[in-house]
Structure 1
Amino acid sequence: MNKIFIIISFVLFSLSASAQQFAQFNTGSLYDSFENPSQRAFIPDSSRAIAFNFFVPNFDANLYVTGNAQRALKSRAFTGNYDVSSLAPPGRGGLNHFNVGGNNYWIMLKFYTNLSGDVEMGFSAQSRVESKGLLTDESVRFFSGPETFPKDYYENVFNNHYKLQIYDQLSYTYRERIDKQLAIGFKLSYLSGVQYAKIDVVNSAVQFNRIQDINGEESADVYMQGRYYHSYVPGRLDGRDFLPNFRNPGASITMGASYRTEDGITIQGNVKDLGFIHWSKRSLITDFNNTVTINGINTAHREDSIYNTSYKLFTGNGTLTGFNTKTNAKAELSVTKNYWFDDEKTIRYFPTVIAQKELFYSGFTGAWVNSVQKNNLVGTLTATYDDYKLFNLGLQFMVKSPNAEFFIGTERLVNTGRFTLAALNNTGQINHVGNYTGADIFFGFSLKFGRVIEHPMNASYIPMGEKGFFGRLFGRIFKTYR
């Protein structure tokens, strides 16, 4: 599985546990409050004052691949053979987009600290995976063997682009209600880089040598020009590398604000994960421009030979140096409103419209989230559409009371089902080629404990706190009181 970069991405999905999952917007869950820091996690007179996930991972993980290579990659991943029937003929330059995201909260701990201002503070530890790239049809075809290439020479058929970034994130979050309409929050994070890899091939060519040697093996001369980045990892990557350290330090900030209008519409804006990582000076940058001979491309061990020889080309004559990378920051704007279906207010419908834009890449996604709550049960139907013209439907099931919550769902329902069937070796789903192949799953759990948050008029415990820092600053500037 580790012989081709796109298949590495499939493996990352199964191992990681970044993408924001939209179904949690405005649910008031602990996960929602860490991802959208102006959102509250506590309800005065109902909730207890401490929220914790008790080390149960709260995660979302997702992947997708578009293009002609879907069938070939699925058949290789789940049956061991490449079905190249859907690939464009060699030399046509077919491209396949892929994206992998993972966000796993190992620890989420939050405190309700001040009734005057609804002040909340919390700490979290999480791990993130960010990966995306472009892969040519010919690159996938090359791993299947030389017999499907009718010509002996091709140019610019391996111009691939790939990026992977894995890091830990230790965060402090703060949320405060400024007045009855406005709430703000932020999350400050220390980042600890785990691994980074990036390949950009700008020129390439391949010359097939059809004459077999004495062992019956064919070879190919492959030329590639481009740049390769790779972070320093002491030895093979293992679980110890996911422990926070200062080898690859970084920082990020998430900022958000929520405003509730007089007619009950809540407008929320966020700038998320705006940050950087400085990778160790023992990391590697290579400007490669060379030709290598790959032997045994017609044999069963061709994947090993292609991978190992290409890796030598990428890493040869590299320079040890540090470098900086950006995190995949996003800007979001959402609008929501509550609708009650009964006088007792036991059935609530709260739709949310969301627009999300990646700040440093071209990615844009629009989402329409439809949630219905009946007492402690919440069901959510999500529709999303992005700039790759991919339309998705998702479902979420959630159990939420003032002091306990559990949720599970997916935002790519149909494709996740097809991907699961393909993994179970369902031939029809392996052969299915749609707009994309992908999967998505998210899961969360937390509990609240401690004293109940009570207003002074009917409290068994009377808090003596003052307004929060931003509330006091706001009052001094605008001379307001509450």
Structure 2
Amino acid sequence: MNKIFTILFLTFCSLSVSAQQFSQYNTGTLYDSFENPSQRSFIPDSSRAVAFNFFVPNFDANLYLTGHIQRPLKSRAFASPAFYNTSSLRIGQNALNHFNANANAYAIMLKFFTSLNGNVEMGFSAQTRVESRGLATDESVAFLDGPSNFAYNNYDNIFNDHYMIQMYDQLSYTYREQVNKQLSIGFKLSYLSGIQYDKIDVGQSSLQINRDPVDPNNDNADVYMQGRYYRSYVPGRLDGRDFLPTFRNPGAAISLGATFRTEDGILIQGNIKDLGFIHWNKRSTITDFDNTTNITDITSEHRDENIYNAVYALVRGNGVVTSFNTKTNAKAELSVSKSYWLDDEKTFRYFPTVVAQKEMFYPGFTGALVNSVQKNNLIATLTATYDDYKLFNIGAQIMVKSPNAEFFIGSERLVNTGRFTLAALNNTNQINHVGNYSGADVFLGFSLKFGRVIEHPMNSSYIPMGEKGFFGRLFGRIFKTDN
């Protein structure tokens, strides 16, 4: 598979959100407590005092691709032999296709229960995030298959694409405290280390195809583009060493969360997640491109690579070497949940959660209904989500969870993940299928607890001496609740 397709498809998709993993809400897993900082992960008189993932990655990765370009990209990726099936494309209609790809992988999650007076928890984590989104026209993909898809020789503004990818490491400290019986508060402070940033915005474009009436092998094209390109500095080719945290591209982020339990047992949780920035170093470049390039050899089997090389040279141009700042994909969330026992013996528990999520710097809005049923150590979850792209999804999760061990696996896009998997296995029907979107989602997690058992003083041989936490002391002083 050549360079252009690798960049246009695999980079957009297989790297894939920060994506919130809705199925984890109110499960009390270690992953849940790092993503939702007011959520507890320890249960006094049941759990041990230290939780760790033992370097087993806990991750969430997702992607989706909408519009007419689903079929040609899937056929180019998965069909054998590979080719662009362009039958679904609409040339000259300014049709736009959305793509979105995110990943969030924790390499280290370590958390301690430090005090019974306030149920104080503190932890440290190391994770890597990928955020990618964009818009691509039908014609951008059709041109990779050569000039045969274009009935005319001249087109305007058919390559007005927008694309962004941001990768960074995140080293965090998290703190959670039960202020009183109803209110818990948590925060997560993070140092960010930028890995790579690329962003292209094309404002104007045109295509002129120069056809040779005698020999089609001599066909060529003039492509004009005007816009801006941001590119972070990476020493050499991107490799595994670049994914280690450094001070080359520093940044910071904060997450804040609060959970309130009403008198009738309703949990109301609010979060501001990963509100931050990254400062890309002074060896990065910003290019304002406004030029035309002539592309030859656009009918051979190497046409897509030739097109990529020519367009990439055009947008890079003579950029200005300078630093710049970018935002992280911060989110605001609000959820409401309540638990119900389904039998008199209290062996079956049902706890539904309604979640509303808004991306703070982008148009994205998602609503979710999370339905979880628990029997003993087994939890089954069914999730329904709907977003402002009018994409409806059904997800599922299976979790095995005891006070000191947990494992979960699932998908927020169950049906489409299955279809995408079949397409990757060269299923012709799924390769040619064009639905609301093509995409996939998968998440997985594992952690264990060890150390002493957290016990209350009345029935413990070990007497904890921890004091009330910071928020508890502050709350007591403000509302005069301290004795």
Same fold (TM over 0.5): yes
Secondary structure of 1:216's counterpart equals helix
1:343, CA displacement in angstroms?
3.0
Specify the alignment match of 2:350 in structure 1. 349
1:420, CA displacement in angstroms?
0.1
* Aligned 1:422-437 pairs, distance under 5 A: 422-437=423-438
Distance 1:86 1:346 in 2: 52
Residue deviations 1:368-398 (CA, integer Å, cap 9, x gap): 0000000000000000000000000000000
Letter matched to residue 329 of structure 2: N
1:303, CA displacement in angstroms?
1.2
Distance 2:132 2:94 in 1: 22
Distance 2:208 2:190 in 1: 49
Secondary structure of 1:398's counterpart equals strand
- Cα separation, partners in 2 of 1:461 and 1:448, compared to 1, 3 Å: same
Specify the alignment match of 1:148 in structure 2. 149
Residue 475 (structure 2) pairs with residue 474 (structure 1)? yes
Specify the alignment match of 1:449 in structure 2. 450
Specify the alignment match of 1:26 in structure 2. 26
Specify the alignment match of 2:84 in structure 1. 82
Distance 2:12 2:48 in 1: 37
Residue 160 (structure 2) pairs with residue 166 (structure 1)? no
Distance 1:13 1:106 in 2: 21
Specify the alignment match of 1:42 in structure 2. 42
Letter matched to residue 57 of structure 1: P
Distance 2:481 2:6 in 1: 56
Distance 1:220 1:324 in 2: 36
What percentage of residue pairs aligned between the two structures are identical? 74
Secondary structure of 2:362's counterpart equals coil
Secondary structure of 1:306's counterpart equals helix
Q: Is the CA contact (8 Å cut-off) linking 2:12 and 2:99 kept in structure 1?
A: no
Specify the alignment match of 1:380 in structure 2. 381
Letter matched to residue 262 of structure 1: E
Residue 313 (structure 2) pairs with residue 315 (structure 1)? no
Secondary structure of 1:438's counterpart equals strand
How many pairs are equivalent?
481
Distance 1:406 1:472 in 2: 36
Distance 2:2 2:107 in 1: 27
Distance 1:9 1:371 in 2: 35
Distance 1:12 1:69 in 2: 13
Specify the alignment match of 1:192 in structure 2. 193
Q: Is the CA contact (8 Å cut-off) linking 1:393 and 1:414 kept in structure 2?
A: yes
User: When the two structures are superposed, what TM-score results if normalisation uses the length of structure 2?
Assistant: 0.97
- Cα separation, partners in 2 of 1:256 and 1:466, compared to 1, 3 Å: same
- Cα separation, partners in 2 of 1:7 and 1:436, compared to 1, 3 Å: farther
Distance 1:12 1:137 in 2: 16
User: When the two structures are superposed, what TM-score results if normalisation uses the length of structure 1?
Assistant: 0.98
Distance 2:159 2:319 in 1: 21
Q: Is the CA contact (8 Å cut-off) linking 2:16 and 2:131 kept in structure 1?
A: no
Secondary structure of 1:39's counterpart equals coil
Letter matched to residue 125 of structure 2: S
Specify the alignment match of 1:244 in structure 2. 245
Letter matched to residue 442 of structure 1: F
Secondary structure of 1:303's counterpart equals helix
Give structure 2 stretches of 5+ with no counterpart: none
1:14, CA displacement in angstroms?
3.6
Instruction: Tell me which moved more, 426-435 or 6-15.
Output: 6-15
Distance 1:416 1:227 in 2: 34
Letter matched to residue 187 of structure 1: K
Distance 2:222 2:422 in 1: 39
* Aligned 1:46-65 pairs, distance under 5 A: 46-65=46-65
